[in-house]
Amino acid sequence: MNKVRIGIIGIGNIGSAHALNIFNGKIKGLELTALCDIDPNRFKWAKNTFGMQIPLYSDYRLLLKSGLVDAILIATPHSLHPFIAMDGFRANLHVLTEKPAGIDTFHVRQMNKAAKESGKIYAIMYNQRTNPLFARLKSMVEEGKLGEIKRFTWIVSNWYRTQAYYNSGTWRGSWSGEGGGVLMNQCPHNLDIWQWITGMPVKIRAFCKYGHYHNITVEDDVTIVAEYANKATAVFITSTGEYPGTNRMEYIGTKGKVIIEEGILKFYSLESDEREIRFTTDAASPNIDVYYEEFKQTEPESGHIGILQNFTDAILYNKDLLAPGYEGINGLTISNAAYMSDWLDSWIDLPLDEELYRRLLKEKQEKEVTIKKQAFKENLNGKYNERWQVRW
């Protein structure tokens, strides 16, 4: 095999951007050979853009059986991701899914099992893993440059959205459509980067505000507190109702700290581990030497194209995946636990009770009253919007 034939299931805002970039040869070795959507407007866009060159399907199962694809890219509403992926694995196809992996860890765990049994390449569109500053911090942690974690804090409140955004799709801003709000739509990237760098916490306490800034039924403002096995803590704050908002990460370890903000990584390091200084120095409040380095992000991350290229290279050349699909369950575990914590007004130990979460989510979905939305559709232009990249 010298090329991968891919079909895209769901050609809305992000799916159309993937389609155009693949069709225009932005990803070496990847060829667009089929498209699927249930919306006639999406069909019209595809026909106007690609003519008759790309076969179109309204039923994704027919695409899976077409023999035209070696892999699929899933860009549908969140709750459908695991089910389409499992059908893809059963059809002996490689799978790349958009984030989040699903809306509950139970079904994502089933998807992971199906992926393992199939032996196919399985990836998730965690494009922010291509950001050089996040990648550098992850390497520093793995190399032990920061020592043992003490505290992690991330304020990422520059996910501002207007009501028009939530009106752009009937599935947006609802428990039935998205399975949540800012945690399920904007923050899967951030929750993934958080656990990618620090590892998974062992317990979660969260405070969510529902429809606080917008006419929606789900959360648009969240504060999460987490604890690790070594009793270190993390705080994660996010919102779609603040402008201009903040994107500031701080990792504090026993050997120093890192701050990432406005495209700069600032590294403050100690010559010795603070725990040694604490018990070997006679001074009550010593003046300890701190060494400073900084790294600037001079170029944007490769983003979606980087993940698409990595997925293709994994199929063709057995390259390691930057964002294995199996890891999609980690960030989702944090968001599921955050919801459960707020609903039950209590700390949630991880791994969480998946059956209880599904029952509580179902109650939210069944009681949800559909909010009348102003008719609004975003234009499909096949371009990656800056809102999908890391913005400082």
| pLDDT tens figures, 338-353 | 999 999 999 999 999 9
320 has pLDDT over 90? yes
- Full DSSP string of 153-220: EEEE------HHHHHT-TTTTSTTTTSSSHHHHTTHHHHHHHHHHH---SEEEEEEEESSSSS-SSEE
Cα 27 to Cα 202: distance, rounded to the nearest angstrom: 39
pLDDT (average), residues 154-168:
95
318 DSSP 8-state letter: -
Sign of CA dihedral 155, 159, 162, 167: negative
| Cα dist from 131 to 128, 217, 265, 298, whole Å | 5, 32, 12, 11
Note the pLDDT of residue 369: 81
113: its two tokens: 């099992």
Q: Can the peptide bond before residue 324 be classed as cis, meaning omega within 30 degrees of 0?
A: no
Note the pLDDT of residue 377: 53
pLDDT (average), residues 372-387:
59
Note the pLDDT of residue 346: 98
In the chain, what are the helix, strand and coil shares in percent, each to the nearest 5?
A: 40, 20, 40
3-state SS assignment for residue 116: helix
- Report CA dihedral (63, 68, 74, 80) to the nearest 10 degrees: 20
Using a pLDDT cut of 70, give the percent of the chain over it: 96
For helices 328-344 and 188-198, give the axis angle rounded to 10 degrees: 110
Q: Can the peptide bond before residue 351 be classed as cis, meaning omega within 30 degrees of 0?
A: yes
Cα 161 to Cα 140: distance, rounded to the nearest angstrom: 33
In this prediction, residue 373 has a pLDDT band, given cuts at 50, 70 and 90, of: low
267 has pLDDT over 60? yes
Q: Can the peptide bond before residue 132 be classed as cis, meaning omega within 30 degrees of 0?
A: no
Note the pLDDT of residue 379: 54
In this prediction, residue 140 has a pLDDT band, given cuts at 50, 70 and 90, of: very high
| Average pLDDT over the chain, rounded to an integer | 94
Cα 204 to Cα 207: distance, rounded to the nearest angstrom: 10
| pLDDT tens figures, 198-231 | 999 999 999 999 999 999 999 999 999 999 999 9
| Cα dist from 250 to 212, 273, 314, whole Å | 27, 18, 33
Radius of gyration of the chain (CA): 22
Cα 242 to Cα 65: distance, rounded to the nearest angstrom: 46
120 has pLDDT over 90? yes
391 has pLDDT over 90? no
Domains of the chain: 4-128+302-326 (3.40.50.720), 129-298+331-367 (3.30.360.10)
Using a pLDDT cut of 90, give the percent of the chain over it: 89
Cα 302 to Cα 388: distance, rounded to the nearest angstrom: 12
Place of tokens 């232009």: 381
| Cα dist from 253 to 90, 164, 170, 327, whole Å | 45, 42, 44, 24
pLDDT (average), residues 271-286:
93
Note the pLDDT of residue 1: 85
Cα 98 to Cα 235: distance, rounded to the nearest angstrom: 26
In this prediction, residue 389 has a pLDDT band, given cuts at 50, 70 and 90, of: confident
pLDDT (average), residues 134-162:
98
101: its two tokens: 């992996």
Note the pLDDT of residue 30: 98
| Cα dist from 67 to 47, 63, 70, 246, whole Å | 21, 8, 8, 47
Least confident piece of the model among 170-174, 216-220, 251-255, 363-367: 170-174
pLDDT (average), residues 22-37:
98
Contacts 24+ apart (CB under 8 A), 43-52: 45/11, 45/16, 45/380, 46/11, 46/19, 49/19, 49/20, 49/23, 49/382, 50/19, 50/23
